[in-house]
Amino acid sequence: MTRSAHEAYTELKAKYEGKTVTDLGAVLANIVRFTYDDRTTTIEEHVAEFDRRWNFMKGTLAGGFSDKVKDFGEALTLLAKSDQAKAEFLLISLPPFYNNLVENL
């Protein structure tokens, strides 16, 4: 038995979240499909939201995997641990008019 709602949530999350290919694909899509819109947010807000999404992906992957998705999960875990991959995904989240800036970086 758990002592609090938070402990119960943590146990359920560890047991079920990220256990299917669909779950892992959705977590990755949350990163890949995220784009910056300068009409609604600042660049600082965009980077903070990207970081929040990246950390959510890492947290989901830390829960372990079922045997059916072990290879995919381990590959995503390696990706999530890479600072270079994180930087590349952040740069591709910028719209095309930032291409010159991205190329210069």
Q: What is the 3-state secondary structure (H, E, C) of 42-105?
A: CHHHHHHHHHHHHHHHHHHHCCCCCHHHHHHHHHHHHHHHCHHHHHHHHHHCCCHHHHHHHHHC
In whole angstroms, what is the distance from residue 73 CA to residue 32 CA?
A: 16
Cα separations in angstroms, 59 against 37, 67, 90, 97: 26, 19, 18, 32
Q: How confident is the model at residue 13 (pLDDT cuts 50, 70, 90)?
A: low
Give residue-wise pLDDT tens across range 24-72. 888 899 999 999 988 899 989 999 999 999 999 998 888 777 777 888 8
Q: How confident is the model at residue 14 (pLDDT cuts 50, 70, 90)?
A: low
Question: Which has the minimum average pLDDT: 25-29, 85-89, 95-99?
Answer: 95-99
Containing domain of residue 42, as a range?
5-104
